[in-house]
Amino acid sequence: MPGISIKGQNMPASPIRKLVPYADAAKKRGVKVYHLNIGQPDIPTPDVALNAIRNFDQKVVEYSHSAGILSYRQSLVKYYEKNNIHLTADDIIVTAGGSEAILIAISTIMDPNDELIIPEPFYANYNGFSVNAGVKVIPIPSSIDNGFALPPISEFEKVITPKTKAIMVCNPNNPTGYLYSKDEIESLGKLAKKHNLYLLADEVYREFIYGDAKHFSVMHLEGVDDHCILVDSVSKRYSACGFRIGAMISKNKEVMQVAMKFAQARLSPPTFGQVASEAAIDTPESYFIEVINEYVARRNVVVEAINKMDGAFCPNPQGAFYVVARLPITDSDHFCQWLLEDYNLNGETVMLAPATGFYSTAGMGKDEVRISYVLKISDLKRSMEIIEAALKVYQGRK
C-alpha cells in the first residue's frame, strides 16, 4: 500500500473534535451530551444576512475576484473604520474563514523550518496550520494563575533566533478568553520592530468584550504597519460559522501582493458566504448588545460554579466565550473521555475539550479543560452540576 506523507503523519488531531466518536457512542446508549467542547454559538444568525441569501437573484453563481467581491471589501473598510482601523479595499483579501487567512499569511511570510512564536495555550489549529506550512511553533507558556496574561517580553527575547519570522497572538484569546491590554499589544509591536519580525493577530472575537474593557488591535499600533497582519472572520461575530468567510489584512503592500498569489491559486472565496457577510455588516447594534449581555450571564454561571467546586479554579475572562479551568485531575484527556464513556448523571453527561491540545509544550494542560459557554444558561447550569458530581467520584482526582 502507498505510504502517507510525513506532513500527514505529523498533522495533529483536533482536541476539540477527537472525542466525537465517544460522544456519538454515548448518544447511541441514550445519554444526553451537553457540548461544551466546541465554539459553535447557539445565537441566531442575523436575519439581514440570511435574507441576502434567500433573495440572491443572479442567474450564475460565478467565481468572485480572488481577493473577494469588491463591494464586500469596500463594506469591510467601513466596518473597520468604525473600529478606528483605517484601510483600503486593497489591504484586504477575503478568505474561506479565518483558517485560510492564517494559512495564507504563514505561507506568505515564512519558509519551511522557520519559527513562529505563540503564547500558549493557543487555538489548537495553529499547530495544524504550522504543520501544513512546514513551520515550527515556539510556545511561550502563560499561566492560569494570572489569568493567562501575556508572558514577559524577556521570555520572547530568549527564544528569538535567526529562524524566527513572526509572533502570533489571538486577542481576545481562544482558548482562555484573555483580553490583551493596550500595553501588552504595544510591547509586542516594539518587539516585532526591534527584531524585524511580523506580528500576526487573530482578532476574530473582537466583538466579544465584557465590562469596561476595550479591544486594542494591532492595526492601532503606530510605526509598524509593515510588520502587522490581521486575521479576521465573520464566523463568531454573526454566529455564522458555516459562511466560511474571513479576511487577511495588512498595509504591507509586498505581503499582500504575494498573498494574492495564494488567493489566486485557490481561485476565490465562497460567493454565498460573501453575499451574506456583506449584508451582515448592516446588523443592528441592538443585536450585539443582546449577545454580549447573554454571554456575560453565561460566563458568570460557568466561572462562579467552577470556583465553588472543591479544588477547582477558573479565571474570569474579559473576552471571547471560552474559559480554561483548572480541575483537581491528573489527566484531562482521560477525564474528558471518561465523562463520555463511563459516566452520566441521570442519563446526562458533558463533553469538554482537554486543554493539553491547546499547548505545544508536552505535559502542560494535564489538569486543565477548555469550556465553551455557548449553550443557554439552563444547560450551562446543568452542565456545571454534572461536572461537580463527576469530580466527586472520578478516580483520577488529585
Averaged pLDDT score across all residues of the chain: 95
The pLDDT score that the predictor gives to residue 294 is 95
One domain for residues 86 and 146: yes
One domain for residues 388 and 349: yes
Give the total residue count for the chain: 398
| Domain assignment of residue 398, yes or no | no
One domain for residues 258 and 314: no
| Domain assignment of residue 174, yes or no | yes
Q: Considering 263, 280, 297, which residue would you say is the last residue of a domain?
A: 280
Q: For 360, what's the count of Cα atoms within 13 Å in the CB-facing half-sphere? A: 21
| Domain assignment of residue 94, yes or no | yes
The pLDDT score that the predictor gives to residue 17 is 73
Q: Is the pLDDT of residue 396 over 80?
A: no
| Domain assignment of residue 133, yes or no | yes
- Cβ proximity of 319 and 205 under 8 Å: yes
The pLDDT score that the predictor gives to residue 40 is 79
One domain for residues 51 and 80: yes
Q: Considering 258, 280, 302, which residue would you say is the last residue of a domain?
A: 280
CATH of the domain at 269: 3.40.640.10
The C-alpha cell of 76 is what?
Answer: 469591510
Instruction: Name the strand (E) or helix (H) holding 259.
Output: helix 253-265
Average pLDDT on 325-336 reads: 96
One domain for residues 268 and 291: no
| Domain assignment of residue 59, yes or no | yes
Of the candidates 204, 231, 233, 234, the residue with the CA atom closest to the CA atom of residue 50: 234
The C-alpha cell of 61 is what?
Answer: 453563481
Q: Is the pLDDT of residue 184 over 90?
A: yes
Domain count of the fold of the chain: 2
One domain for residues 272 and 370: no
| Domain assignment of residue 92, yes or no | yes
Q: Is the dihedral of CA 335, 14, 120, 364 positive or negative?
A: positive
CA trace torsion 124, 331, 143, 113 (10° rounding)? -40
One domain for residues 223 and 304: no
| Three-state secondary structure of 1-66 | CCCCCHHHHHCCCCCCCCCHHHHHHHHHCCCEEEECCCCCCCCCCCHHHHHHHHCCCCCCCCCCCC
One domain for residues 234 and 257: yes
One domain for residues 352 and 219: no
The pLDDT score that the predictor gives to residue 38 is 83
One domain for residues 66 and 215: yes
The pLDDT score that the predictor gives to residue 42 is 83
pLDDT bracket for residue 57 (50, 70, 90): very high
Q: Is the pLDDT of residue 339 over 90?
A: yes
| Domain assignment of residue 343, yes or no | yes
pLDDT bracket for residue 122 (50, 70, 90): very high
The C-alpha cell of 63 is what?
Answer: 467565481
Residues 6+ apart with CB under 8 A from 91: 249, 250, 251, 256
What is the rounded distance in angstroms from the CA atom of residue 274 to the CA atom of residue 247?
Answer: 11
One domain for residues 243 and 319: no
CATH of the domain at 305: 3.90.1150.10
One domain for residues 38 and 52: no
Beta bridge partners of 369: 325, 354
One-character DSSP codes across 151-204: PPHHHHHHH--TTEEEEEEESS-TTT-----HHHHHHHHHHHHHTT-EEEEE-T
pLDDT one-digit tens code per residue, 1-55: 888 888 889 888 776 677 999 999 999 999 999 999 987 788 899 999 999 999 9
Q: Considering 254, 280, 306, which residue would you say is the last residue of a domain?
A: 280
The pLDDT score that the predictor gives to residue 15 is 67
Q: Is the pLDDT of residue 310 over 70?
A: yes
| Domain assignment of residue 1, yes or no | no
Look-up: residue for cell 454515548? 26
Average pLDDT on 338-342 reads: 96
Average pLDDT on 109-114 reads: 96
- Residue range(s) defining the domain that contains residue 352: 6-44+286-393
